[in-house]
Amino acid sequence: MNMSQKMAAEFLGTLWLVLGGCGSAVLAAAFPEVGIGLLGVALAFGLTVLTMAFAIGHISGCHLNPAVSFGLWAGGRFPASELLPYIIAQVAGGIVGAGVLYAIASGQEGFSLAAGFASNGFGEHSPGGYSMMSVLICEIVMTLFFLLVILGATDERAPKGFAPIAIGLCLTLIHLISIPVSNTSVNPARSTGPALFVGDWAVSQLWIFWVAPIVGAILAGVIYRYFNAAE
């Protein structure tokens, strides 16, 4: 596959992740009487990755996440020369996904971005009121384990054909743990899209949802290299 094909796949995949995951939170989480709640939102995020991994995994690797790209690079699985194009495509997909979601959500009377639009935050903007340090630790650790699962499940020695399932379920589990803490990022592109529409506090706190996931991902890459070196 050439780079334009890979970028197009990453763009569409990240668009789907934001539309499906954040869309479930904005449109369906608290819908009267049949709201899907925290469990449904967590599952929706996992399903976006699972479905796209089967759809575009053979085209771009289905990163959908700058932290994943950095983690695969740190683990020796992805060339540094492709980092920037992938990240550009992912962030663009996240922004357009948030734009599609806004176009849908704003068609309801009474809709307001003041509800947060599924943005990530800490302090008063954390769903559970968690501090910046709690959010920082949570995002680093959750992304670290997410990348360990990705690196392990996609290893040539792992059972073939099951990686999308393991990765999707891992992202579901991560959301079940950390939605109350940070509204769950582990993905700078996912955080950037909604934050740009909300502006204000969401943009001012966005830095942590770039720094923490990338740090966690790089740590995972280093750890996985150690596992391989120990053979």
Asked whether the predicted pLDDT for residue 130 surpasses 90, the reply is: yes
Q: How far apart are CA 44 and CA 48, in angstroms?
A: 6
Closest CA to 80 of 88, 89, 72: 72
> 216-227 b/e with 16+ CB inside 10 Å = b?
bbbbbbeebeee
Q: What percent of the chain has pLDDT over 70?
A: 97
Show the tokens assigned to 195. Answer: 């934050």
The domain tally of the chain equals 1
Closest CA to 212 of 188, 176, 190, 189: 188
**Structural domain range at position 15:** 3-229
Asked whether the predicted pLDDT for residue 19 surpasses 80, the reply is: yes
Q: ∠ CA 31-36-39 to the nearest 5 degrees? A: 145
Q: How far apart are CA 14 and CA 91, in angstroms?
A: 8
CATH number of the domain where residue 135 is located: 1.20.1080.10
Sole residue written with tokens 């094909």 = 5
pLDDT, one tens digit per residue, over 105-127 is 999 988 999 989 999 999 999 99
Contact predicate 167/153, CB 8 Å = yes
Asked whether the predicted pLDDT for residue 208 surpasses 60, the reply is: yes
Asked whether the predicted pLDDT for residue 32 surpasses 90, the reply is: no
pLDDT on residue 69: 98
Asked whether the predicted pLDDT for residue 231 surpasses 60, the reply is: no
pLDDT on residue 158: 86
Sole residue written with tokens 């999308």 = 164
